[in-house]
Amino acid sequence: MKTSPRLLPALALLFAASGALADEAVIRKALAERLPNLPKIDEVTRSPLPGLWEVRIGTELLYTDAQGQYLVQGEVIDLRSRTNLTQQRIDKLTAFDFDKLPLKDAITIKQGKGTRKMAVFVDPNCGYCKRFERDVSNLKDVTVYIYLYPILGADSQTKSRDIWCAKGPALAWRDWMLANKLPSSAPAKCDFAAIERNVELGRKHRVTGTPATVFEDDTRLPGAVPGEQLDKQLVQAARKG
């Protein structure tokens, strides 16, 4: 029985896929046996480097061989293009999708018509955030989604709760950041689960410092970006959107 030439490419892909699945099963089994304390593996895929497999645990990347005998911790760099392939992959895994941000967990401030949009992860005790807030407050035609992200200590958590639970969270936020005026203590029955969700969201996307800004085109900028640069980024993001 002869095989049609048209079927050969399809068969080759089928065999390659079955081989990849077999290798993945071998790797998962070997690593589970050799590293019983290893957290749950989310994904095993071929890396750009021949013979090396990527093992993904959340947003952490490890590398191993096809038999799961060796484990490599580090970065894979393409020397021809000077590209850090590991970081490139992590950036993709931790990227934000602006349209899927949980806006109900943010304090919303609308300036002017609010046509342009941006989201900011901030800690109320972050000095850079206070400087950043002054620049943000001067922007025109923008809606700002403020995600309270208390990562600097227990007092940051307390201030975040007091601001979130205030009768007017947006006003309470600006009063504190621009005038050092704190709101009253949060009522005992206030639901501040949104702040806990913000922390989980930030960790998932590797937000390691504040302020951290996300724009409509999913661009992400760390640090206290000057107002002029913010405005340019908002224009660029709106065009892509």
Query: How is 84-139 classified by DSSP, letter by letter?
Result: EHHHHHHHHHT---GGGS-GGGSEEEEETT--EEEEEEE-TT-HHHHHHHHHHHT-
Helix segments in the chain, DSSP class H:
7-34, 85-93, 127-137, 154-164, 169-179, 193-204, 227-240
Domain boundary among 45, 74, 93: 93
* Torsions phi, psi for 222 (to 5 deg): -90, 155
Domain span at residue 198 reads 98-240
Report, in angstroms and rounded to the nearest whole number, the Rg of the chain calculated over CA atoms: 24
pLDDT in tens, 112-147: 999 999 999 999 999 999 999 999 999 999 999 999
Backbone angles phi, psi at 61, to 5 degrees: -120, 135
Q: Is residue 1 part of a domain?
A: no
Percent of the chain with pLDDT over 70: 90
Last residue of a domain, one of 61, 93, 125: 93
pTM of the model: 0.81
The pLDDT tens digits for 147-185 are 999 999 999 999 999 999 999 999 999 999 999 999 999
Mean pLDDT, range 196-216, rounded to an integer: 96
Q: Tens digit of pLDDT for each residue in 15-48?
A: 344 445 668 999 999 999 999 999 999 999 999 8
The tokens of 70 are what?
């060796």
Nearest Cα neighbor of 107 from 192, 189, 182, 181 is 192
* Total number of domains in the chain: 2
233, 179 in Cβ contact below 8 A? no
Q: Do 138 and 207 fall into the same domain? A: yes
